[in-house]
Amino acid sequence: MKLFGVLGDPISHSLSPVMHNAAFKSLKMDCEYHAFRVSTSALYNAIHGAYALGFGGLNLTIPLKEKALEIVRPVPLAKEIGAVNTVDFKKGITGYNTDGLGARMALEGNGIRIRGKKVLLLGAGGAARAIALTLAKEKADLTIVNRTADRAEKLAYDIKAGKIRAGSFEDLKELVMNCDILINSTSAGMYPNISETPVTSDMMNSDLTVFDIVYNPVNTLLLREARKAGAKAIDGVMMLVYQGAEAFKIWTDIYPPVDVMEKAVREKLL
């Protein structure tokens, strides 16, 4: 049996095991996927331990994605993004990032065109870095806002492609009013802090698309506020599925059944 896993801290909320194990079962592959709580200080030992034990691959989540860059050999895209969410062991310890692809496919799958749109991205962590670079390359007009302003400014500076800037959290209401797509890449609203939302319905309008990459709970307070304002609301399940499917392909050279993966996640979230 080949083992796979996701590392993070916290990690109990992760539905990656449900999703990947459903794909393995569907494909009749002798593999299992588990979640492991790992701190940033223990990440080096955890990754090298998994490699030594013969794991097939790993996913990384909050707060490990940027730290992993120092531990693995990143492919050019992961290095450019500055964060790793997928580790493969076939040729040493190689780091990838599939978050940006997952976000783009989730938006496009909901009929949302990115090119030329005014996008407001909340957050400046590992997932935000991947999403920002992807959107910039897709020619979005991108503004990044983070509670720690210097992190947003650094991310805007680091992304060399496209039209990108950092905005002020003090101007959040105005920025939301003037954007076409709002993306939350922070952990606000994620279990167990389900009563949090970075933006409320009075700041939104019916022409807005709101995409929350949080998937547990699937119907976050931010998305409920979006629907209250008549805005289009997109949950984080398909980003999870698409980025996971790409990781699966990296590990196994097989593209998994995304419908099976989505069904497993949504059933667990009911």
Q: What percent of the chain has pLDDT over 90?
A: 89
Cα distances (angstroms) measured from residue 249 to each of 74, 98, 233, 268: 17, 11, 29, 23
The whole-angstrom distance between residue 151's C-alpha and the CA centroid of its chain comes to: 18
Amino acid at 172: L
pLDDT at 193: 87
* Full set of structural domains in the chain with CATH: 2-97+238-269 (3.40.50.10860), 100-235 (3.40.50.720)
Contacts of 233 (CB under 8 A, 6+ apart): 210, 212, 223, 226, 227
Q: How far apart are CA 17 and CA 23, in angstroms?
A: 10
Cα→Cα distances 37→6, 78, 165, 229, Å: 8, 23, 35, 38
pLDDT band at 197 (very low <50, low <70, confident <90, very high): very high
- The average confidence (pLDDT) of the chain is 95
- Please, where are the H alpha helices in 27-145? 43-52, 76-81, 99-109, 126-137
CA distance 169 to 221: 19
Coil, strand or helix: which one is 12?
Answer: coil
Lookup result for tokens 């190689």: 94
Q: Is 124 helix (H, G, I), strand (E, B) or coil?
A: coil
Write the DSSP string, 126-194.
HHHHHHHHHHHHTT-EEEEE-SSHHHHHHHHHH--SSEEEE--GGGHHHHHHT-SEEEE-SSTT-TT-T
The Cα 190–Cα 128 span in angstroms is: 15
Q: What is the predicted pLDDT for the residue at 220?
A: 97
Identify which of 11-15, 106-110, 126-130, 169-173 has the greatest average pLDDT: 106-110
Give the up-direction half-sphere exposure of residue 210: CA atoms within 13 A in the CB hemisphere. Answer: 28
For residue 37, what are the contacts with CB-CB under 8 A and spacing of at least 6?
7, 8, 9, 10, 11, 12
**Residue 270 pLDDT exceeds 90:** no
* Per-residue pLDDT tens digits for 76-99: 999 999 999 999 999 999 999 999
Instruction: With a cut of 70, say whether residue 253 has pLDDT above it.
Output: yes
Residues annotated as part of the active site: 65
Confidence tier at 13 by pLDDT (50, 70, 90): confident
Tell which phi-psi region holds residue 139, choosing left (phi > 0), alpha (psi between -120 and 50) or beta: left
Share of the chain above pLDDT 70, in %: 99
- For 20, 37, 85, 177, the CA distances from 90, given in Å and listed in that order, are 19, 24, 16, 47
Across the chain, how many H-helices and E-strands are there?
Answer: 10, 12
Structural contact between residues 8 and 62, judged by C-beta atoms closer than 8 angstroms: yes
- The tens digit of pLDDT for each residue in 132-188 reads 999 999 999 999 999 999 999 999 998 877 679 999 889 999 999 999 999 999 989
pLDDT interval class at 38 (50, 70, 90) = very high
Measure the CA–CA gap between 111 and 123, rounded to whole angstroms: 24
pLDDT score recorded for residue 214: 94
pLDDT for 125: 87
Q: What is the pTM of this model?
A: 0.92
Residue 162: the pLDDT is 67
CA angle 189, 194, 196 (to 5 degrees): 55
